[in-house]
Amino acid sequence: MSQTEQRSAIPQHNTEARFEEPTHGPSTSSEWWRRSVIYQIYPRSFRDTTGNGIGDLPGITAELHHIAALGVDAIWLSPFFASPQKDAGYDVSDYRAVDPIFGTLEDFDALIAEANRLGVKILVDLVPNHCSNEHALFVEALASPKGSSAREHFIFRDGRGVDCQLPPNNWQSHFGGPAWTRITEPDGTPGQYYLHLFDSAQPDFNWDNPAVGDEFESVLRFWLDRGAGGFRVDVAHALIKASGLPDWDGRADGADSPGYPFADAPMFGQPAVHEVYRRWRSICEEYEGERVLCAEANVHPIESMADWVRPDEMHQSFNFPFLHTGWDHAALKAIITRSLKAFGAVNAPSTWVLSNHDVPRHATRLGATAPSPRPGDGLGPQDEQPDIVLGLARARAATLFMLGLPGGAYLYQGEELGLGDNTMLPNEHRQDPSYARTNGERLGRDGCRVPLPWDDSSSSLGFSDSAASWLPQPAEWAKLTRQAQETDPDSTLNFYRNALALRSSSQLGLGNLNWLEDTTNGQLLGFENTGVMVALNLGVEPVALPAGEVLLASSSEALSPAGPEGSAVLLNPNAAVWLRRASS
Ligand code: NOJ
C-alpha cells in the first residue's frame, strides 16, 4: 500500500485515548543532531567496485545517492583506515591513511564531495582506546626497552607470580581469554605484558600519557580538515583505566552478565575520560557546520551513560539499553521513559537504535522462536532458525515505533531492505576474532555483516561486479535486492522512505512524548508526539485504534477493518501505525 493509499479516514472508536503526563519537555532547538537520522555504512559490506569481494570507498560514493534519497542526515562510516583487519578495521595501524582495500585518501575526498553535493554529512569512526599491533608506535614500543618513553604509549606491566608467569591482573578480553599478552623483550627474554581489552592485535593506549591525547587531537583535526562531519567514538567509556589496574571480578568480555558493563568497572567510565571529550568538543566547535561526537559508551545504567552527553561533551550516545530491550511492552515503556528523562536531564537528545554491526539484526532477533542459545551472539546453522516472516513484520513495526520517538535515530545498512542475519553461515567463513578466541564457543558477529544485495547483475547480487563476496549471502536475499524493492510500493525500502519522509515533515525528532494510557492489557504500546499517535501492538490479538487518519502502517497487513458494525480499525499483532487523530 502506498503512503497516499494509506491515508484513509478511520471510523470513530468509542474508547477515548487518554494521555499521561509528558516525559520530555519541548525542544525548540534547530541543532541538526537533536533530531537526526544517521545511517551506518559498514564499508567492507556496502559495495565493491574492484571485484575482490570487499566493499570500498568508491562503491560508497557511487551508491550514496540511494542512501541520501532515503532521507537521512548523515552517514556513520565504520573504519576504513589502514589496518591489518584483525577486527574488521577496528585495529588501526595508521589513523591518517585509508586502507588500500578500501581505496585512497583521494577516494575519501571524493566521497566527501559527493556527500556535500547530496547534503549528507559523513561521520568518521574514531578508535581511540586501542590501535593495531602493527601501528608504528606499538612496533616502536616492542623494540624499546622496559621503562622507555616508547612503552609509555601503551599499558605495559610486569607479570605476577613465579617468573611473572601470571598476567598483571585478572581482566578478561571482550573477545574471550585474558586481556593481557606477554611479549618477548628485544633481548629475547620473556618480558612484560601489554593490556588489550579486545584482541591481542589491539593494544590499549595509555591515556594517562599526554602524548596520546595530543596525537588524537591531531587525528581529529586531520579528518575535520578533510570535511568529516564529526566522529562516532569507539569504546568511548574505556580510554582511562583506574590507577593501579585493580582486579575486577565482573566480566569485561562483553558477555551478558550482571557485572558487565557497569560504570564501577576499573576499565570503564573513569572520571578523567570526560576531560578528553570536553577537549574534543571544543575542537569540533572551532569548525563550521556543527561537527558532532557520538559516544559508543556502553555503560549502565543509562543515567551514567548520559554523562557522556553533558552540554560540553559529546552530542549523542548510542542507546544500547533500548537496542537490547526485546518485544516487551513494560520493558520498552520503561526504557524509553527512563532514556528521555536521563538524557533530558543533561539537555541532550536520546538516541534510538535497533541494529548495528555488533549485534544480530533486529529482523533476526525479533523472529526468534526460542531463547538465544548464546545471548547477544549470532545464530548459526546448528541453532533453531528464526521465523523470517514474523521477524520482518516485527522489525518493520519496531522501526516505525522507533522512528516516531523524539531524538536521534540510527539505522544500520540493509535494514531498509528488511535484511536479517545470515544464520546459516558456514563456520569456515567466520572472521570475527571472538570466534577464534573462544574456540568457536561464540559464533561472533559475522552473520550481521554480510554484503548487501543491490540487484541481479552478478551472483553476489550486485554487491560486486564479480561473484566475490567476503561472506556468503543467504539465498533468500535474491528477492530482497534494492532493485527488486525499488518500485514495489509495499517493499521494506519504500516503507523506510515513507517513514523517514513523514518523520521529517512532522518534525517527530524534535517533538515530545506523551504516553497513551494502555487499556488493552499490555498489548498496545502507544504515545503521542507532535500530533501523531504512534502505536505498536505487542500482543497476540488485534487492537482497536482511536479515530484518525492513518499516516503510515508498518505493512499492508498491519490494519484490519473491525467487525460488522465497522466501529473501528484494528491494529493487528506485530504491527505498528502512525495516526493523526481525528479532532473532536
Ligand atoms: C566496538 C565496535 O563497534 C566493535 O565492532 C569493535 O570490535 C570493538 N569496539 C573494538 O574496537
Say whether 268 sits in a helix, a strand or coil. coil
Burial environment of residue 341 by CB neighbours within 10 A (0 to 12, 13 to 18, 19 or more):
middle
Each residue's pLDDT, cut to its tens digit, for the chain (584 residues) gives 333 333 333 333 333 334 444 333 333 347 999 999 999 999 999 999 999 999 999 999 999 999 999 999 999 999 999 999 999 999 999 999 999 999 999 999 999 999 999 999 999 999 999 999 999 999 999 999 999 999 999 999 999 999 999 999 999 998 888 999 999 999 999 999 999 999 999 999 999 999 999 999 999 999 999 999 999 999 999 999 999 999 987 765 544 445 455 657 899 999 999 999 999 999 999 999 999 999 999 888 899 999 999 999 999 999 999 999 999 999 999 999 999 999 999 999 999 999 999 999 999 999 998 888 887 789 999 999 999 999 999 999 999 999 999 999 999 999 999 999 999 999 999 999 999 989 999 999 999 999 999 999 999 999 999 999 999 999 999 999 999 999 999 999 999 999 999 999 999 999 999 999 999 999 999 999 999 999 999 999 999 999 899 999 999 999 998 866 656 799 999 999 999 988 75
Q: Rounded to the nearest whole angstrom, what is the distance from the C-alpha of residue 195 to the centroid of ligand 1? A: 16
Domain ranges of the chain: 33-128+210-499, 136-195, 513-581
The H-assigned helical ranges of 345-459 are 362-365, 388-403, 433-437
Instruction: Please tell me if the CB atom of residue 446 comes closer than 6 angstroms to any atom of ligand 1.
Output: no
Catalytic residue among 234, 253, 313, 416: 234
Buried b (16+ CB within 10 A) or exposed e, 85-119: bbbbbbbbbebeebbebbbeeebbebbbebbeeee
**At 549, which amino acid appears?**
E
- Atom 2 of ligand 1, residue of closest alpha carbon: 234
Probe ligand 1: pick from 358, 432, 434, 445, max atoms within 8 Å of CB?
Answer: 358
User: How far is Cα 61 from Cα 55, in angstroms, rounded to an integer?
Assistant: 11
Q: Does domain 513-581 have CATH number 3.90.1150.10?
A: no
Instruction: Please tell me if the CB atom of residue 392 comes closer than 6 angstroms to any atom of ligand 1.
Output: no
Q: How far is CA 520 from CA 17, 95, 309, 514, 536, in A?
A: 11, 53, 36, 17, 12
Q: With left for phi above 0 and alpha for psi between -120 and 50, is residue 103 left, alpha or beta?
A: left
Instruction: Please tell me if the CB atom of residue 235 comes closer than 6 angstroms to any atom of ligand 1.
Output: yes
* Three-class secondary structure assignment of 501-525: HHHHHCCHHHCCEEEECCCCCCCEE
Report phi then psi at 279, rounded to 5.
-65, -40
Q: Which residue has the cell 570526560?
A: 274
Which atom of ligand 1 is closest in space to residue 296's alpha carbon? 1
Question: Any idea which fold 33-128+210-499 has?
Answer: TIM Barrel (3.20.20)
- Atom 11 of ligand 1, residue of closest alpha carbon: 90
- Is 234 catalytic? The answer is yes
Question: What number does CATH give the domain 136-195?
Answer: 3.90.400.10
Residue closest to 352 by CA, chosen among 37, 28, 31, 21? 37
In this prediction, residue 3 carries a pLDDT of 34
In this prediction, residue 23 carries a pLDDT of 38
Instruction: Please tell me if the CB atom of residue 198 comes closer than 6 angstroms to any atom of ligand 1.
Output: yes
Residue closest to 66 by CA, chosen among 474, 392, 455, 467? 455
- Is 73 catalytic? The answer is no
User: How far is Cα 293 from Cα 270, in angstroms, rounded to an integer?
Assistant: 19
- Atom 5 of ligand 1, residue of closest alpha carbon: 358
The DSSP secondary-structure symbol of 166 reads: B
> The sheet that has 156-157: what strands, in order across it?
156-157, 190-195, 180-184
- Atom 4 of ligand 1, residue of closest alpha carbon: 358
Which pTM was predicted? 0.94
In this prediction, residue 564 carries a pLDDT of 64
Catalytic residue among 249, 286, 288, 428: 286
